Amino acid sequence: MTKRLTVSRLKELQERDSSHHVSLRESLWKYLNDDMHTDFEKEILALKPNDCLIVQKYTSVQSFPIENRPHLKEVSVATLYSEHPLREFHKRILKGTSELDQKKLVIVKEQLLKIDTLPVLVFIHGLGGQMSQFEPILQELRNCSDMFAIDLPGFGNSKRPSRNDPSKTLKFSSLS
């Protein structure tokens, strides 16, 4: 049976989280066991995904190979790539039209060349939260240029290496 989240339950969880001070040892234990969220955060996350529409539409999880690191073969991160709206528009026009007159084709090519001169906007997220915190900025800047955003490993929608990842053991062994 699914528990319904009520205001009183939220208050209870928030008060418990606010009054509980986590020691360094507890933090390390939580980290090693992939349990970084508080009970309050777990309840909220279980209720509803908190991604904005632009993040839902353009986000995917990408895996990148890591070279020269025998203990870590690849890292998977949440990325967002959104093309300039005119680039998307022209792709749809070119795909849907079998015979495009030369004048329209020249205009499309000119616009695409102008878009290609624009810088790609890059958002790097790694301070808690997730990409959706950039939503107001993403919505506005999306009309200006191509965009790329990334949640660094362990932040937002990117997962940190799993508990069994040997690289984590190496990091903690170097601390002792």
Separation in Å, CA 93 to CA 51, 57, 79, 82, 88: 30, 20, 27, 18, 9
- Tell me the pLDDT tens digit for each residue of 93-152: 777 665 656 777 788 888 889 989 999 988 887 665 566 677 788 888 888 889 988 887
Query: pLDDT tens digits, residue range 4-47?
Result: 667 787 778 777 777 767 677 776 666 655 566 666 666 766 66
pTM of the model: 0.56
Q: According to DSSP H, which parts of 21-176 are helical?
A: 24-32, 39-47, 53-58, 85-96, 102-116, 135-141, 166-175
Residue 131 · residue 55 · CB < 8 Å: yes
The stretch 58-66 carries a mean pLDDT of: 82
Task: Give the full edge-to-edge strand order of the sheet including 59-65.
Answer: 59-65, 74-82, 147-151, 121-125
Average pLDDT over residues 51-64: 78
Across the range 148-158, mean pLDDT stands at 77
For residue 173, what pLDDT band results from cuts at 50, 70 and 90? Answer: very low
Q: Which two tokens stand for residue 14?
A: 């928030």
Q: Please name which of 145, 135, 170, 144 lies closest in space to residue 50, comparing C-alpha atoms.
A: 135
Kindly tell me if the per-residue pLDDT of 82 is higher than 60.
yes
Predicted local distance difference test score (pLDDT) of residue 24: 73
Question: According to the model, what pLDDT value does residue 61 have?
Answer: 83
